């Protein structure tokens, strides 16, 4: 059996407590160097996205965003749709907003695929139901995180998420990655754990916007909801936006501009 | 007392061998699942819980139902149940073990199961479920074994066991309420988001559990010298009758709210389960079979003349058991996932491997049940079946 680093450290800690580690406890008084954040790290208290569906003209625009995200995060392409892993993906408007059912919707929106991803809810049901805190909301900036080394694969979070944003690795995902495109900067995953969009917390920590926002040509705006001067707050102040299933009280951090002004979010 | 399990005839050992074989097949398929992952099952991104979790849910009910014989005997001094309380307790033990096994085979990373205890999370219902299920297992082993041991020695059970019996009586409805809360507290799954879920769970548990116990009691009478008693069997029959009627009534309440309100989300799962949507309705025949079995069994059970005929009573109980096994051990969990969050229909049907693993878990349960019953019955045959109270 392979012992993971975390498990080894725990074992070492326990043995230290019970005196098995000899002088380990005494020597631990020496402070380990604290984590020093990158000075370029973006500062925000509650990250959010505004997806301006008016700025996506074709399916190709949308596809580009998905490809960028899935490539840099080593998201596998699994042909069996039942076992797909997806972080950001498309659904038709009537499926993303089923409660907005309207048969007289404009032709453009009847045909246009909508982007959807983890909403990084302020009140996330997935976090509430997880029995191991493998999924948790980061206190500093509200990102709903995923510890894939702790996840037991019980899939309570998948049942709990009302947005279908979570995927289990039903099989080993690695054979479904293009070996020429694997991003060595980002870990690949093992079978039996749940994953989802992480709002590019790793990019934020080095001063970069989430990949989808960067690849969207301004159609996806990223910013801090708590900061009235942020890009997202500017769009929200100017344009009418909606969120998915707000009646469930999850308070999503992903907003949609639909049929707004053509220049909505231009200031961003 | 364990030695009594080793002392059986040819039929006993054939049955044990058969169960071991079924368990072995399930175990081999589990090794495949261990290697490949949950991808060998019929579950999907959209229907992310299936046969395993539904069987778990159903079996928590069977485990909880032991209280239906324990309570009248200990709290109301209903003597007729004195002969079968041990059968109720010894049914609860394998039922809980099957529950826990179904949870473990459902995990994507079973090696990490202990994370639930290493990182206790009070906001998660699964955390409480782990505690109450293991607690219930402990209580039933303790109470069942202690009382049977006293009976073997021909003395009254020790006084200190009484508080544990009382706790186990209160504990039983709890395990099933907590299990219902797994479903009833999830936003966005209309089929599950209903305040009556725990009540439905208890009603169906107290119908299906005693139905199974009644069948087991009749089997015990046929194959051993121990007679659980006609009065006990008739009383179990009445419990099954009332609880089955209450269960169907509760289901009716759900149907009324879903359809009279006209809110599409509330009716979707019912449409899918009983009629199919867009030509997709793989569960429709099963759900109607469940409905027919429920209707026929209730019709049989409400007439005392039919109920008093033990053969017909047994048939009615088999119908009750399978009706609820389909309804709760299949439809309830799958129905919650269809349509999915995008109101699309992804169907679910267990694969052969998945079904075999499930069957293996049942075989494990019946193996434990057989051994426990064998011990209990051997003691009863010697003592004349009457527990000293």
Measured between CA atoms, the residue of chain A closest to residue B33 is A171
Tell me the nearest-neighbour CA distance from A39 into chain B, angstroms: 32
Kindly state the DSSP code that residue A240 receives in the 8-state scheme.
Answer: -
Give the count of Cβ contacts less than 8 A between chain A and B: 143
Q: Can you tell me the distance from the alpha carbon of A11 to that of A64, in angstroms, rounded to the nearest whole number?
A: 45
Partner A, chain B 48-77, Cβ-Cβ below 8 Å: 48-49
Q: Can you tell me the distance from the alpha carbon of A180 to that of A172, in angstroms, rounded to the nearest whole number?
A: 18
Contacts of A148 in chain B (CB under 8 A): none
| Pairwise CB contact (< 8 Å): A170 & B107 | no
Q: Can you tell me the distance from the alpha carbon of B318 to that of B90, in angstroms, rounded to the nearest whole number?
A: 20
Q: Which residues of chain A have pLDDT under 50?
A: 21-26, 261, 263-268
| Pairwise CB contact (< 8 Å): A159 & B121 | no
Partner A, chain B 337-376, Cβ-Cβ below 8 Å: 337, 340-344, 346
Q: Does B37 touch chain A (CB under 8 A)?
A: yes
Q: Give me the residue from B36, B107, B186 closest to A154, CB to CB.
A: B107
Q: Can you tell me the distance from the alpha carbon of B259 to that of B270, in angstroms, rounded to the nearest whole number?
A: 9
For residue A225, what are its two tokens?
Answer: 């909801």
Query: What 3-state class would DSSP assign to A255?
Result: strand
Please check whether residue A248 is in contact with residue A261, taking contact to mean a CB–CB distance below 8 angstroms: no
pLDDT digits (tens, 9 = 90+) for B170-196: 999 999 999 999 999 999 899 999 999
Rg (CA), chain A: 21
Mean pLDDT computed over B297-320 = 96
pLDDT confidence bin for B2, thresholds 50/70/90:
confident
| Pairwise CB contact (< 8 Å): A249 & B43 | no
Please check whether residue A245 is in contact with residue B188, taking contact to mean a CB–CB distance below 8 angstroms: yes
H/E stretch holding B176 reads helix B161-184
Kindly state the DSSP code that residue A167 receives in the 8-state scheme.
Answer: E
Measured between CA atoms, the residue of chain B closest to residue A166 is B45
Tell me the nearest-neighbour CA distance from B291 into chain A, angstroms: 26
Nearest Cα residue to A154 out of B354, B355, B100, B103: B103
Check residue A13 and give its pLDDT.
Answer: 64
Report the DSSP pairing between strands A254-257 and A47-52. Answer: parallel
Q: Does B125 have pLDDT greater than 80?
A: yes
Q: Can you tell me the distance from the alpha carbon of B89 to that of B70, in angstroms, rounded to the nearest whole number?
A: 8
Rounded to 5 degrees, what are φ and ψ at A26? -60, -40
Classify residue A192 as left (phi > 0), alpha (psi -120 to 50) or beta: left
Q: Look at chain A and count its residues.
A: 268
Chain centre distance of CA B199: 15
Q: Does B238 touch chain A (CB under 8 A)?
A: no
* Long-range contacts of the stretch A28-33 (C-beta < 8 A, 24+): none
Tell me the nearest-neighbour CA distance from B119 into chain A, angstroms: 5
Mean pLDDT computed over B339-346 = 94
Contacts of A129 in chain B (CB under 8 A): 123-126, 185-186
Q: Does B147 have pLDDT greater than 80?
A: yes
Q: Give me the residue from A10, A91, A129 closest to B124, CB to CB.
A: A129
Tell me the nearest-neighbour CA distance from A95 into chain B, angstroms: 4
Nearest Cα residue to A88 out of A141, A51, A125: A51
Check residue A32 and give its pLDDT.
Answer: 73
Please check whether residue B342 is in contact with residue A91, taking contact to mean a CB–CB distance below 8 angstroms: yes
Q: Does B32 touch chain A (CB under 8 A)?
A: no
Tell me the nearest-neighbour CA distance from B61 into chain A, angstroms: 20
Contacts of A168 in chain B (CB under 8 A): 38, 45, 48, 108
Q: Does B323 have pLDDT greater than 80?
A: yes
For residue B72, what are its two tokens?
Answer: 């009248």
What's the pTM? 0.91
Tell me the nearest-neighbour CA distance from A159 into chain B, angstroms: 7
Contacts of B116 in chain A (CB under 8 A): 131-132, 152
Q: Can you tell me the distance from the alpha carbon of A168 to that of A82, in angstroms, rounded to the nearest whole number?
A: 10
Q: What single string gives the DSSP state of each residue in A213-267?
A: HHHTTTSEEEEETT-TTSHHHHHHHHS-EE-S-GGGS---SEEEE-S--TTTTTT
Check residue A159 and give its pLDDT.
Answer: 97
H/E stretch holding B288 reads helix B284-302
Q: How far apart are the first and last CA of chain A?
A: 51
Q: Can you tell me the distance from the alpha carbon of A163 to that of A146, in angstroms, rounded to the nearest whole number?
A: 16
ipTM of the complex: 0.92
Contacts of B184 in chain A (CB under 8 A): none
Check residue A264 and give its pLDDT.
Answer: 41
Mean pLDDT computed over B344-370 = 97
Please check whether residue A144 is in contact with residue A137, taking contact to mean a CB–CB distance below 8 angstroms: yes
Please check whether residue A130 is in contact with residue A137, taking contact to mean a CB–CB distance below 8 angstroms: no
Q: What single string gives the DSSP state of each residue in A62-116?
A: HHHHHHHHHHHTT----SSGGG---SEEEEEHHHHSGGG--TT--HHHHHPEEEE
Check residue B367 and give its pLDDT.
Answer: 97
Check residue B356 and give its pLDDT.
Answer: 98
| Pairwise CB contact (< 8 Å): B342 & A152 | no
Tell me the nearest-neighbour CA distance from B120 into chain A, angstroms: 7
Contacts of A167 in chain B (CB under 8 A): 45
Omega of the bond leading into B339 within 30 degrees of 0 (cis): yes
Q: Can you tell me the distance from the alpha carbon of B136 to that of B65, in angstroms, rounded to the nearest whole number?
A: 12
Contacts of B344 in chain A (CB under 8 A): 95
Kindly state the DSSP code that residue A149 receives in the 8-state scheme.
Answer: T
Kindly state the DSSP code that residue B277 receives in the 8-state scheme.
Answer: B
Nearest Cα residue to B103 out of B134, B78, B138: B134
Check residue A265 and give its pLDDT.
Answer: 44
Check residue A30 and give its pLDDT.
Answer: 65
pLDDT confidence bin for B389, thresholds 50/70/90:
low
Q: Give me the residue from B46, B106, B123 closest to A128, CB to CB.
A: B123
Q: Can you tell me the distance from the alpha carbon of B202 to that of B191, in angstroms, rounded to the nearest whole number?
A: 17
Q: Give me the residue from B48, B109, B182 closest to A151, CB to CB.
A: B109
Q: Can you tell me the distance from the alpha carbon of B369 to that of B200, in angstroms, rounded to the nearest whole number?
A: 26
Q: What does the H/E/C string look like for A110-125? A: HHCEEEEECCCCCCCH
Q: Can you tell me the distance from the alpha carbon of B318 to that of A185, in angstroms, rounded to the nearest whole number?
A: 59
For residue A132, what are its two tokens?
Answer: 């191991």
Mean pLDDT computed over B78-95 = 93
Angle in degrees, CA B294, B136, B220, rounded to 5? 55
Tell me the nearest-neighbour CA distance from B102 into chain A, angstroms: 11
Check residue A96 and give its pLDDT.
Answer: 94
| Pairwise CB contact (< 8 Å): A159 & B36 | no
CA-CA distances (angstroms) from residue A128 to A131, B100, B123?
Answer: 8, 22, 5
pLDDT digits (tens, 9 = 90+) for B154-166: 888 999 999 999 9
- The fraction of chain B above a pLDDT of 70, given in percent, is 98
Nearest Cα residue to B360 out of B5, B33, B7: B33
Please check whether residue B274 is in contact with residue B284, taking contact to mean a CB–CB distance below 8 angstroms: yes
Q: Does B341 have pLDDT greater than 70?
A: yes
Q: Does B33 touch chain A (CB under 8 A)?
A: no
Contacts of A97 in chain B (CB under 8 A): none
Q: Can you tell me the distance from the alpha carbon of B7 to that of B16, in angstroms, rounded to the nearest whole number?
A: 12
Q: Give me the residue from A130, A150, A249 closest to B124, CB to CB.
A: A130
Q: Would you say the C-alpha torsion A199, A203, A209, A213 has a positive or negative sign? A: negative
Q: Does B335 touch chain A (CB under 8 A)?
A: no
For residue A219, what are its two tokens?
Answer: 């159609």
Measured between CA atoms, the residue of chain A closest to residue B127 is A131
Tell me the nearest-neighbour CA distance from B338 into chain A, angstroms: 11
Rg (CA), chain B: 21
Residues in a beta bridge with A117 = A88
Kindly state the DSSP code that residue A265 receives in the 8-state scheme.
Answer: T
Other CB atoms within 10 Å distance of the CB of residue B140 = 26
Q: Does B262 touch chain A (CB under 8 A)?
A: no
pLDDT confidence bin for B386, thresholds 50/70/90:
low
Q: Can you tell me the distance from the alpha carbon of B26 to that of B44, in angstroms, rounded to the nearest whole number?
A: 21
Partner A, chain B 108-127, Cβ-Cβ below 8 Å: 108-113, 115-116, 118-119, 121, 123-127
Q: Give me the residue from A94, A159, A192 closest to B109, CB to CB.
A: A192
pLDDT confidence bin for B382, thresholds 50/70/90:
confident
Rounded to 5 degrees, what are φ and ψ at A88? -130, 130
Contacts of A158 in chain B (CB under 8 A): 45, 48
Q: Can you tell me the distance from the alpha carbon of B380 to that of A119, in angstroms, rounded to the nearest whole number?
A: 61
Mean pLDDT computed over B264-278 = 94
């Amino acid at each position: 059996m392979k012992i993971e680093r975390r498990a080894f450290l725990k074992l070492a800690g326990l043995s230290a407590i019970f005196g098995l580690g000899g002088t380990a406890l005494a020597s631990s008084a020496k402070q380990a160097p604290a984590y020093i954040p990158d000075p370029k790290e973006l500062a925000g208290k509650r990250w959010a996205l505004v997806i301006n569906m008016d700025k996506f003209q074709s399916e190709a625009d949308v596809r580009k965003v998905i490809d960028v995200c899935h490539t840099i995060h080593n998201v596998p392409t699994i042909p069996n749709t039942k076992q797909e892993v997806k972080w950001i993906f498309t659904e038709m408007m009537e499926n993303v907003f089923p409660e907005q059912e309207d048969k007289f919707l404009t032709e453009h929106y009847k045909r246009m695929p909508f982007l959807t991803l983890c909403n990084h809810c302020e009140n996330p049901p997935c976090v509430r139901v997880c029995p191991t805190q493998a999924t948790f909301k980061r206190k500093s900036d509200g990102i709903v995180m995923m510890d894939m080394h702790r996840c037991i694969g019980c899939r309570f979070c998948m049942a709990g998420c009302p947005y279908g944003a979570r995927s289990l690795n039903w099989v080993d995902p690695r054979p479904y990655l293009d070996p020429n495109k694997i991003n060595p900067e980002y870990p690949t995953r093992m079978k039996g754990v749940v994953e989802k969009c992480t709002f590019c917390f790793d990019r934020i920590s080095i001063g970069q916007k989430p990949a989808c926002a960067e690849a969207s040509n301004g159609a996806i705006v990223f910013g801090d909801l708590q900061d009235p001067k942020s890009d997202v707050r500017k769009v929200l102040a100017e344009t009418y936006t909606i969120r998915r299933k707000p009646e469930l009280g999850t308070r999503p951090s992903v907003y949609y501009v639909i049929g707004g002004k053509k220049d909505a979010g231009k200031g961003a | 007392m364990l030695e009594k399990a080793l002392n059986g005839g040819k039929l006993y050992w054939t049955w044990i061998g058969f169960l071991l074989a079924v368990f072995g097949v399930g175990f081999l398929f589990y090794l495949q699942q261990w290697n490949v992952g949950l991808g060998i099952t019929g579950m999907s991104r959209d229907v992310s819980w299936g046969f395993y979790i539904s069987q778990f849910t159903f079996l928590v009910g069977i485990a909880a139902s032991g209280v239906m014989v324990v309570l009248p005997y200990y709290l109301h001094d209903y003597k007729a149940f004195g002969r079968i309380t041990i059968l109720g307790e010894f049914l609860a033990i394998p039922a809980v073990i099957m529950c826990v096994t179904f949870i473990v085979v459902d995990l994507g990373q079973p090696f990490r199961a202990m994370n639930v205890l290493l990182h206790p999370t009070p906001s998660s219902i699964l955390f409480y479920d782990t505690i109450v299920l293991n607690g219930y297992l402990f209580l039933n082993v303790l109470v069942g074994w202690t009382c049977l041991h006293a009976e073997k020695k021909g003395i009254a059970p020790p006084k200190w066991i009484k508080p544990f019996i009382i706790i186990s009586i209160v504990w039983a409805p709890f395990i099933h309420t907590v299990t219902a809360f797994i479903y009833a507290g999830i936003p966005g799954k209309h089929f599950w988001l209903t305040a009556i879920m725990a009540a439905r769970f208890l009603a169906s548990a107290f119908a299906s559990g005693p139905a199974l116990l009644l069948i087991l009691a009749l089997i015990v009478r046929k194959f051993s010298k121990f007679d659980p008693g006609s009065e006990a069997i008739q009383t179990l029959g009445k419990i099954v009758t009332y609880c089955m009627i209450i269960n169907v009534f509760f289901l009716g309440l759900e149907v009324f709210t879903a359809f009279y309100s006209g809110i599409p989300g509330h009716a979707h799962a019912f449409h899918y389960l009983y009629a199919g949507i867009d030509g997709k309705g793989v569960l429709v025949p099963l759900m109607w079979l469940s409905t027919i079995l429920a209707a026929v069994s209730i019709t049989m059970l409400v007439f005392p003349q039919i109920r008093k005929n033990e053969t017909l009573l047994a048939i009615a109980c088999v119908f009750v058991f399978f009706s609820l096994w389909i309804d709760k051990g299949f439809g309830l969990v799958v129905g919650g996932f269809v349509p999915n969050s995008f109101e699309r229909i992804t169907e679910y049907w267990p694969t052969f491997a998945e079904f075999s693993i499930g069957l293996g878990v049942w075989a494990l349960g019946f193996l434990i049940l057989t051994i426990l019953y064998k011990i209990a019955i051997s003691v009863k045959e010697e003592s004349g079946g009457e527990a000293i109270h």
